[in-house]
Structure 1
Amino acid sequence: MNYGKEKIAVYRTYASSLEGVRTIPESSFDGRDNTLFGLDVRVQVDGEAFLPSFSEGDNSMVVATDSMKNFVLHQAGEYDGATIEGFLEFVGSQFLDTYSQMESIQMSADEIPFEERDVPGENDFEDSGLVFRQSHNESAFGEIYLDRSEDGPVIADHISGVTDIELVKVKGSSFTDYVQDEYTTLPEREDRALHITLDIFWTYAESADALGTDPERYVPAEQVRDIAQVVFHEVDSNSIQDLIYQIGLRVLERFPQLESVSFEANNRTWIQERDLDGDAKVLKEPPRPTGFQQFSMDHSDLEEMSE
């Protein structure tokens, strides 16, 4: 039994900057100015006090979902942090502090990403600082579960992520040595152009690290994205399964504060239409259906690789 509001579009200008994050070899990302902070928010609340609204049509304890939307928008102006997860924890805590009939709350959000545009400067092109365009590439994700306690709202569970990564590697990937039987029509490929989409999610050993109050222990989605593309560049993988495992190992190696990392990948690999001179090929879209891969791993996988 729960209810809530979703697709709450929140835009905040000149939010606090994310500064002081630890840099890693795979990424140039060292912070985010948050001049334009956009989120697509979902709120889900639980509580026995809401049962009569289902069973008896009694709405006396119901907080209208339109009020929830307005509450989220108001709190966007009060939040002084710099991360999606921090915002969700802040707003969720405010909900529980304000409405005693809410026993627990789940807050989640997809980033609405924007890219700053270049304009002519005195000697070269430079960041506008004023003009942005909405990006339709990968975006960060966060989800925070809060329960009541004697000391106030506490994080019961959490997950962070980056979704809709789309990458193509034009050579250096293969798919061979799989089961061959009467149902097999797919030819083995020693060197293929590999096209994938990828969602990556992670949890922290200490949930407070997800909020970004200690920037050195916060894992930015941009750095995880960059690890994925660097490993894709470096590794000659024999399958998408092999690829995401290698990405997971690198993420856990770079961020020991994480508890786990998980993946959902989708195979969008193009079909070869013509083989031209050298490495050149003509490719076409694959037919439906498409394959997918899911995998979760933790530091025990990293320890096994080091033995």
Structure 2
Amino acid sequence: MTEVVLKEQRYGKDRVRLIKVIRTGKWHEVIELTVRVLLEGEFETSYTHGDNSKVVATDTMKNTVYVLAKKTVNIKCIELFATEIGKHFVNTYSHVTKASVLITKHRWTRMLVDGKLHDHSFARDGEETRITEVVVKRDKVEIKSGLKGLLVLKTTGSAFYGFHRDQYTTLPESTDRILSTVIDATWTYSIPNPSAISKIPYCTIFDSIRKLTLDTFATDDSVSVQATLYLMAKRILEIHKEVTSVSYGLPNKHCFAFDLERFGLKNSGADTDIYVPFEDPSGLITATVERVKSKL
């Protein structure tokens, strides 16, 4: 007879969408979020015996997010709002041992009208998002933040040569190429104690990491995506002591020169200016760089 056990379980509500309008007189702000809440705890019998007595309905989770969004003063800082949500579930339900809250903040940019920022009109500024994933336990809070979908391109200042070659290698070496990628980055915060949670300047750090990422991408005379990735992460860890590790995912967005020789036009070397973007297949470069504790 085969014996089976429930190895692990968690459940929750995903894709809770909300927009909050913050009005300060005629000056309005728009915050658009997508929230996911997952709970862990004493829910085994709902799986093994069909006993729902301890199940917090996912509809309850959805409604809780909206209520907390109405009451909170921290909605601009998604790390603090996610912590509020997680603590609510852990503190309200004694059988909940862990709450994982993922918040995606969508990008709205204030319109510029007649040379002035408009007080209540906005435009979607690309598909880039800001994210945070907060894990709340009874005695511990873990916070990881990041950005996703930041599409970048530079037309020079990138090379790729000296790589290993064998009988299957067809890629030519390049000392000058277009470099384009969609930046996904995450970083982990050091939370030494509960009181430290509210003292970390999450929004300032986010803005700084985004700028460091863009500045490094633009100015690094890149010999490879790997080398540029490492330099981005290294600079972040040197500047922000609150951050313990940085991870990047950088897929290649290839742009290849189109062959125009057959039409009597030169499109190679210094004369290359017509490219064809290719989506698939693409290279994917990932790495995590972390701070090492001193042994002294």
Contact 1:86 1:211 in 2 (8 A): no
Runs of at least 5 residues in structure 2 that lack an aligned partner in the other structure: 1-8, 260-266
Secondary structure in structure 1 of the residue aligned to 2:62: helix
Following TM superposition, by how much is the alpha carbon of 1:133 offset from its aligned partner in structure 2, in angstroms?
2.0
Deviations 1:165-224 (A, max 9, x none): 111010110000001110001111110011111111111223679987336576532321
Alignment of 1:131-210 (within 5 A): 131-149=121-139, 154-155=140-141, 157-206=142-191
The higher relative CO (CA closer than 8 Å, separation ≥ 6) is in 1
In structure 2, do the counterparts of structure 1 residues 299 and 103 end up closer, same or farther at CA, with 3 Å as the change threshold? closer
**2:120 aligned with 1:130, yes or no?**
yes
Alpha carbons of structure 1 residues 148 and 210: separation in structure 2 relative to 1, 3 Å = closer
For 1:15 and 1:143, the matched residues in 2 are separated by: 27
CA RMSD of aligned residues (A): 2.5
Of 287-296 and 182-191, more deviation after overlay is shown by 287-296
**Structure 2 length-normalised TM:** 0.86
Aligned partner of 2:50: which letter?
Answer: G
Contact 1:85 1:210 (8 Å CA) reproduced:
no
Q: Could you tell me which amino acid in structure 2 is paired with residue 254 of structure 1?
A: I
Instruction: Give the letter aligned to residue 248 of structure 2.
Output: F
Mapping of 1:34-183 within 5 angstroms? Answer: 35-48=29-42, 50-81=43-74, 82-120=76-114, 125-149=115-139, 154-155=140-141, 157-183=142-168
What CA distance in whole angstroms lies between the structure 2 residues aligned with 1:210 and 1:132? Answer: 36
Structure-2 residue corresponding to 1:28: none
Greater mean alpha carbon deviation, residues 189-198 or residues 203-212: 203-212
Structure 1's unaligned 5+ residue stretches are 17-32
Structure 1 letter corresponding to 2:56 = V
Q: How far did residue 226 of structure 1 move?
A: 1.5
Distance 2:189 2:101 in 1: 17
Question: How far off its partner does 1:259 sit?
Answer: 0.9
Contact 1:45 1:104 in 2 (8 A): yes
SS at match of 1:190: coil
Give the 3-state SS of the residue equivalent to 2:274 in structure 1.
Answer: strand
1:97: how far off?
Answer: 2.1
Which one of 11, 14, 20 corresponds to residue 6 of structure 1? 14
More displaced, 203-212 or 53-62?
203-212
- Cα distance, 1:15 vs. partner? 8.1
CA distance in 2, matches of 1:228, 1:99: 41
1:210 and 1:236 map into 2 onto residues whose CA distance is 42
Q: Which amino acid aligns with 1:5?
A: K
- Distance, in Å, in 1 between the alignment partners of 2:146 and 2:195 is 11
1:293 aligns with 2:285: yes
Q: Which moved more, 1:234-243 or 1:208-217?
A: 208-217
Deviations 1:94-144 (A, max 9, x none): 122222221111001111221111112xxxx11112011233332111011
- 1:249 shift after superposition: 1.4
Q: Closer, same or farther in 2 for the Cα pair 1:111/1:147, shift >3 Å?
A: same
In structure 2, the residue matched to 1:22 is: none
Indicate how the Cα distance of structure 1 residues 279 and 84 shifts in structure 2: closer, same or farther if over 3 A, else same: farther
SS of the residue aligned with 2:89?
Answer: helix
Cα deviations by residue, 1:16-46 (Å, 9 ceiling, x for unpaired): 9xxxxxxxxxxxxxxxx98111111110001
Contact 1:85 1:211 in 2 (8 A): no
Alpha-carbon contact 2:112-2:118 (below 8 Å) kept: yes
Q: Highest Rg: 1 or 2?
A: 2
In structure 2, distance between residues paired with 1:112 and 1:268: 23
Give the share of equivalent positions with the same residue, in percent: 27
